[in-house]
Structures are given as C-alpha cells and as structure tokens.
Amino acid sequence: MLIGKTSLREYEIREIESLRERYPVKQALIIDALMIVQKRSGWISDELIKSLADFLDFSVEEIDSVATFYNLIFRKPVGKHKILICSSLCCWLNGSDLISENLKKILGIEFGGTTSDGQFTLIPIQCLGMCDKSPAMMIDEDSFGCLKVNNLTDILESFD
Ligand code: FES
C-alpha cells in the first residue's frame, strides 16, 4: 500500500507486520504501530489514523482513543524537538514548577505549545524515572537532571 502521503508506506507496513507475532492480543500492537507511523513526520494526522485503522482492522475511534490517551503520540504537528518536563512529585518537590515557568518564558510558549520557529514543543509528563536527579526533563532521547534555572538556556542552545 503506497497511495500518497496519507497512506501507510511499504516500510511502515513491513515494520508493523514484523511485530505482529510478538503480540498475541492484536490490541497490543496499536501503540507500536502508532509509534512506527509517527516516525515519518513526528505526529499522526487523521488520515494516518484512518489508514492504520483499516490496516489493523480496528475502527478509527479505537485507534484514535489509544493515540489520544498515550501522551507520546502526537495528533497535531509538533516541533523538531520535544521537551518532556516531569511534573510528578519528586520533581515538583525539587522545583519543577520553577523550571517549567522558566522554560515557558524562554521559549515563549505554554504547555502543549510549539515555538514559532518550529524548534521546540513543551510537554508536561509524569515521572521520567529520574527521581534521584529531580527536577528532570528529556529533550528527544536525551535526559537532563538536577535542572537549574540558569542552565536551561545552555541546554536549549545545544539543540539545533
Ligand atoms: S518524579 Fe520526576 S523523574 Fe520521577
């Protein structure tokens, strides 16, 4: 299946198919399939949700309910880099609110927003598993702990 940019591509289908036997319950494949398709442009359009629903033999609503529940699946365009700032207890006790407020100020966006140059999207998230280094955040695949207000700009500037 290779019908324009809104349909699944051959390599996506192959990757999804390669995972099928790993999951005896077919619903369990949905998140991986969404992550595979999301790699294409960083988010998943309505058209891609429909294509995935057809391909996996679910309703659009079933696929979309997983996509909108899981906070690492994006249903609208996001920035080149995704900043995931932890808002759970350890980080909150160690000043994540202050870090978040400063990130918002530096970037000129609110949670869920994307900078006007398309570089960063700021997303609050539950525990990143770095509680011993709280407050913590991830930018794409990189982790940053023991955050201080005065090192945020340097961290952001290290991403082009
Ligand atoms: S509470 Fe923030 S990383 Fe665990």
**Tokens standing for 53?**
């629903």
Strand order in the sheet with 120-125: 120-125, 81-86, 137-139, 142-144
Measured in Å, residue 91 CA sits from the centre of ligand 1 at: 5
90 lines ligand 1 (CB under 6 A): yes
Measured in Å, residue 53 CA sits from the centre of ligand 1 at: 34
156 lines ligand 1 (CB under 6 A): no
Report the distance separating Cα 73 and Cα 31, nearest Å.
8
Report the distance separating Cα 45 and Cα 38, nearest Å.
9
Please give the model's pTM, rounded to 2 decimal places: 0.81
Residue 77 confidence (pLDDT): 92
86 lines ligand 1 (CB under 6 A): yes
Give the number of the atom of ligand 1 that is nearest the alpha carbon of residue 128.
3
Report the distance separating Cα 11 and Cα 1, nearest Å.
10
Measured in Å, residue 92 CA sits from the centre of ligand 1 at: 8
52 lines ligand 1 (CB under 6 A): no
Confidence bin at 2 (pLDDT 50/70/90): very low
Q: Name 25's Cβ contacts closer than 8 Å, sequence gap at least 6.
A: none
Residue 1 confidence (pLDDT): 44
Measured in Å, residue 99 CA sits from the centre of ligand 1 at: 13
Q: Which of 22, 20, 9 is nearest to 57 (CA)?
A: 20
Answer whether 153's CB lies under 8 Å from 117's CB: no
Q: Looking at residues 4-25, what average pLDDT do you find?
A: 87
Residue 37 confidence (pLDDT): 96
131 lines ligand 1 (CB under 6 A): yes
Q: What is the pLDDT of residues 91-120, one digit of tens each?
A: 999 999 999 999 999 999 999 999 999 999
Instruction: Say if residue 141's pLDDT is above 70.
Output: yes
Question: Percentage of residues in the chain with pLDDT exceeding 70?
Answer: 96
Q: Maximum CA pair distance of the chain?
A: 50
Q: Looking at residues 1-13, what average pLDDT do you find?
A: 72
Give the number of the atom of ligand 1 that is nearest the alpha carbon of residue 90.
1
Q: Exposed e or buried b for every residue in 12-25, given b needs 16+ CB within 10 A? A: bbebbeeeeeeeee
Confidence bin at 6 (pLDDT 50/70/90): low
